[in-house]
C-alpha cells in the first residue's frame, strides 16, 4: 500500500515541476526567477522517492523503516522549499490578477498565475501524500510487529486446541 502512495507522490511531484515550468514559460516578464532551483530540488526529491520505492521491495525491518523515514523527510523538505518558492514568486502576480485587476486582462499573466497556482497545489498534494505514506508505513509496521510473548501465547493456545482435537 505504501509503495502505491509513493508512486502517487512521484507522479504528483513530476506534475508540479512541469506546471512550474509552464508557469514560468508563459512570458519572460512573469518567469519564476528561481525556476532552475525549483527544478533541481524537485528532481532530487523525485529521485529520492524512486530510491525509496525501489528499496521498499528489498529492505525490511526497523533500520529500513528509519532510512525510509529520513529519505522521506529529505524529500518533504525539498518539496516544501519548492512550494515556498513557487508561492513567493506568484504572490505579486496574485495581487495583480486576483485582487487589483491590474493584469486580469493580460492572458499571459493569467496563464502564468493559473499554472503557478496549480503547481503549488501539486507540491502541497505531494507533501500531504508523503505524510500519509509515512503514516501508512508506520501503521503497517506496528500491525506486523508482535512481541515474543504474544507469539508464544498464540502457540500455546494453538497447542491446547490441537491437544483437545486429538482427544
Residue with the larger pLDDT of the pair 138 and 56? 56
> Which residue range is the domain that position 34 belongs to?
2-166
The secondary structure element, H or E, covering residue 38 is: helix 35-55
**Confidence class of residue 75 from pLDDT cuts 50, 70 and 90?**
very high
**Confidence class of residue 24 from pLDDT cuts 50, 70 and 90?**
confident
Find the angle CA(122)-CA(17)-CA(98) to the nearest 5 degrees. Answer: 60
CB of 78 closer than 8 Å to CB of 41:
yes
Q: Is the pLDDT of residue 74 over 80?
A: yes
Measured distance CA(90)–CA(21) in Å, rounded: 13
Q: Is the pLDDT of residue 26 over 90?
A: no
CB of 126 closer than 8 Å to CB of 16:
yes
Which of 66-80, 112-126, 138-152 shows the lowest mean pLDDT across its residues?
138-152
Residues contacting 75, CB < 8 A, separation 6+: 9, 45, 46, 48, 49, 52, 130
- The domain tally of the chain equals 1
The secondary structure element, H or E, covering residue 137 is: helix 107-144
Whole-prediction pTM: 0.77
CB of 143 closer than 8 Å to CB of 124:
no
CA-based end-to-end distance of the chain:
44
Q: CB burial class (10 A; 0-12, 13-18, 19+) of residue 121?
A: middle
CB of 93 closer than 8 Å to CB of 113:
yes
Measured distance CA(82)–CA(59) in Å, rounded: 29
Measured distance CA(139)–CA(2) in Å, rounded: 10
pLDDT mean over 82-108: 81
Amino acid at each position: 500500500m505504501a509503495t502505491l502512495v509513493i508512486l502517487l507522490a512521484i507522479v504528483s511531484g513530476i506534475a508540479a515541476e512541469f506546471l512550474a515550468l509552464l508557469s514560468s514559460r508563459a512570458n519572460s516578464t512573469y518567469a519564476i526567477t528561481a525556476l532552475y532551483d525549483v527544478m533541481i530540488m524537485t528532481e532530487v526529491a523525485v529521485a529520492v522517492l524512486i530510491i525509496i520505492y525501489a528499496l521498499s521491495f528489498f529492505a525490511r525491518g526497523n533500520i529500513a523503516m528509519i532510512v525510509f523515514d529520513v529519505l522521506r523527510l529529505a524529500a518533504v523538505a525539498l518539496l516544501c522549499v519548492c512550494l515556498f518558492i513557487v508561492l513567493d514568486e506568484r504572490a505579486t502576480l496574485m495581487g495583480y490578477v486576483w485582487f487589483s485587476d491590474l493584469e486580469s486582462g493580460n492572458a499571459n499573466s493569467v496563464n502564468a498565475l493559473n499554472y503557478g497556482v496549480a503547481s503549488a497545489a501539486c507540491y502541497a498534494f505531494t507533501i500531504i501524500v508523503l505524510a500519509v505514506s509515512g503514516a501508512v508505513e508506520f501503521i503497517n509496521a506496528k500491525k506486523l510487529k508482535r512481541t515474543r510473548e504474544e507469539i508464544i501465547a498464540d502457540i500455546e493456545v494453538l497447542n491446547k486446541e490441537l491437544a483437545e482435537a486429538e482427544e
